[in-house]
Amino acid sequence: MPLEEACLNKKIQTMLKTPKKLLGQTRNSISYLLNWGHGRYCPVCKKSSRKFGKFGLDLRDDARCFYCGSLERHRLTWLYFERMTNLFDKNPKKMLHVAPEACFEKRLSRRLGDGYVSADIVSQRAMVRMDITNIQFNDDTFDVIYCSHVLEHVVNEKSALLEFYRVLKRDGWAILLVPIFGEKTFEDSSITSPQKRLELFGQEDHVRTYGSDYIQRLEKVGFSVKLSKASDFLSQDEMVKMGITQCAGDIYYCTK
């Protein structure tokens, strides 16, 4: 293809994308204007709004930050990072961030610099492609591991947990979060139909529903686990202001 024709095609493609981009920016601007205020505060992006936006298959009110897209669990985790860990104490750290959330990725990268590593098995946005049941890093590599709402997608959960344990430093810590429903974890490896998984596990690509016995599953591979609820380190007023509801779940802080 001649250079002039290639350049023309590129310009045309850019022009076709521009209306979509402008439409998205317009929608965002309208949302910001409609929700301008100080009723809610997002600790991730440090911005205020009248309320948070709706989110979820069964739409939850007051869930998603209009600015950075954080949900309840993201805001809780970020507050835990800030108040209950040494993550941001400015000492060098090597951090593994699995399935990086957009609201965290750039912020963690800026704070941790070269020590930050994002990983995912499919996402092109992550820094490395990685299967958490077969992690390519050496033993005792990371000071911090953060993995949220991933393990419910992984058939061989035990291998993934053992790998996290292996690559975590002796004095390191990991936050490994999953959605919890009820008291006992339910899984059945014979269930492979997406429709059946949706019916039994709540999502087509989930392979189990976790119960509060999740803590024992972490302990079985060697982790010591500290369970923290939002009320352990946040006031009631803070939870309301930052949209920390029961949907945020609990924090599982794991050490060797």
**Per-residue tokens: 34:** 């409609």
DSSP 34-97: HT-SSSEEETTTTEEESSPEEETTTTEEEEE-TTT---HHHHHHHHHHHHHSSTTSSS---EEE
Average pLDDT over residues 47-63: 92
Confidence band for 4, pLDDT divided at 50, 70 and 90: very low
Using the predicted structure, report yes or no on whether residue 20 has a pLDDT greater than 80. Answer: no
Ramachandran region, residue 8 (left: φ > 0; alpha: ψ -120 to 50; beta: rest): alpha
Per residue in 135-174, pLDDT (tens digit) is: 999 999 999 999 999 999 999 999 999 999 999 999 999 9
**Distance between CA atoms of residues 229 and 196, nearest Å:** 32
Count of helices and strands (H, E) across the chain: 7, 13
Per residue in 193-211, pLDDT (tens digit) is: 999 998 989 889 899 999 9
> Which amino acid makes up residue 12?
I
Per residue in 101-127, pLDDT (tens digit) is: 999 999 999 999 999 999 999 988 999
State the pTM of this model: 0.86
Q: Are 64 and 244 in contact (CB under 8 A)?
A: no
Element (H, E) at 117: strand 116-120
Confidence band for 25, pLDDT divided at 50, 70 and 90: very low
Give Cα 222 to chain centroid, integer Å. Answer: 23
More confident call, 64 vs 7 = 64
Using the predicted structure, report yes or no on whether residue 23 has a pLDDT greater than 60. Answer: no
Per residue in 81-97, pLDDT (tens digit) is: 999 999 999 999 999 99
Residues 6+ apart with CB under 8 A from 142: 94, 95, 96, 117, 167, 168, 169, 172
Using the predicted structure, report yes or no on whether residue 9 has a pLDDT greater than 90. Answer: no
In the prediction, which pLDDT does 224 show? 98
Using the predicted structure, report yes or no on whether residue 31 has a pLDDT greater than 90. Answer: no
Average pLDDT over residues 8-24: 46
Structural domains in the chain, CATH included, are 70-255 (3.40.50.150)
Q: Which long-range contacts (CB under 8 A, 24 or more apart) does 80-85 make?
A: 80/175, 80/228, 80/233, 80/251, 80/253, 82/43, 83/233, 84/228, 84/233, 84/251, 84/253, 85/144, 85/173, 85/253
Per residue in 222-249, pLDDT (tens digit) is: 999 999 999 999 999 999 999 999 999 9
**Distance between CA atoms of residues 192 and 183, nearest Å:** 24
Task: Count CB atoms within 10 A of the CB of residue 179.
Answer: 17
Closest to 176 measured CA to CA, from 202, 150, 207: 150
Confidence band for 8, pLDDT divided at 50, 70 and 90: very low
Least confident of 11-25, 44-58, 220-234: 11-25
Least confident of 11-15, 67-71, 226-230: 11-15
